[in-house]
Structure 1
Amino acid sequence: MPVVGPSGVGKDSVLAYAATELRNEADMVFVRRTVTRPTTAGGEDFIGVTEKEFTRLVENNAFCLHWPAHGLHYGIPMSASAAVDAGKVVVANLSRGMIAAARERFPRTLPIAITAPRAIVEQRLRSRGREDDASIALRLARLDAWQAEENDLVKIDNSGSLEMAGMALVTTLRGLAAR
Structure 2
Amino acid sequence: MTDSPRRGRLFVLSGPSGVGKSTVLARLRRDVPQLWYSVSATTRTPRPGETNGVNYFFVSADEFGRLVADQQMLEHAYFAGNHYGTPRGPVEEHLAAGQDVLLEIDVQGARQVRQAPGLGSEAVLVFLAPPSFDELIRRLVGRGTEDEAATAARLEAARDEMASQPEFDHTLVNTSVEDATAGLVALLAEPCSPAPADRT
TM-score normalised to structure 1 length: 0.84
The within-5 A match list for 1:64-83 is 64-77=74-87, 78-83=89-94
**Cα displacement (A) at 1:91:** 0.5
Q: SS of 1:54's equivalent?
A: helix
Give the whole-Å Cα distance in 2 for the aligned partners of 1:177 and 1:29.
16
Aligned-residue Cα RMSD (Å) equals: 2.4
Conserved? CA contact 1:35–1:49, under 8 Å: yes
**Cα displacement (A) at 1:102:** 0.8
Conserved? CA contact 1:7–1:139, under 8 Å: yes
Residues 178/98 of structure 1: CA separation in 2 closer, same or farther (3 Å cut): closer
Find out whether 1:125 has 2:125 as its counterpart.
Answer: no
Give 1 or 2: higher helix fraction. 1
The within-5 A match list for 1:151-166 is 151-159=167-175, 161-166=176-181
Q: Partner of 1:141 in structure 2?
A: 156
**Cα displacement (A) at 1:130:** 2.4
Give the whole-Å Cα distance in 1 for the aligned partners of 2:147 and 2:84.
22
Q: SS of 1:91's equivalent?
A: strand
Give the whole-Å Cα distance in 2 for the aligned partners of 1:38 and 1:133.
17
The within-5 A match list for 1:73-112 is 73-77=83-87, 78-105=89-116, 106=119, 107-112=121-126
Please, which runs of 5 or more residues in structure 1 have no aligned partner?
none
Please, which runs of 5 or more residues in structure 2 have no aligned partner?
1-10, 195-200
Per-residue CA deviations over 1:73-99 (Å, capped at 9, x if unaligned) read 112122102222333321111221233
Over 6 Å off, 4+ runs: none
| Counterpart code for 2:96 | D
TM-score normalised to structure 2 length: 0.76
Residues 52/148 of structure 1: CA separation in 2 closer, same or farther (3 Å cut): closer
Residues 108/154 of structure 1: CA separation in 2 closer, same or farther (3 Å cut): same
Give the whole-Å Cα distance in 2 for the aligned partners of 1:135 and 1:91.
27
Q: Give the aligned length.
A: 175
Percent of counterpart pairs with the same letter?
A: 27
Deviates more, 1:108-117 or 1:42-51: 42-51
Q: Partner of 1:55 in structure 2?
A: 65
Conserved? CA contact 2:80–2:150, under 8 Å: no
Conserved? CA contact 2:42–2:56, under 8 Å: yes
Q: SS of 2:78's equivalent?
A: strand
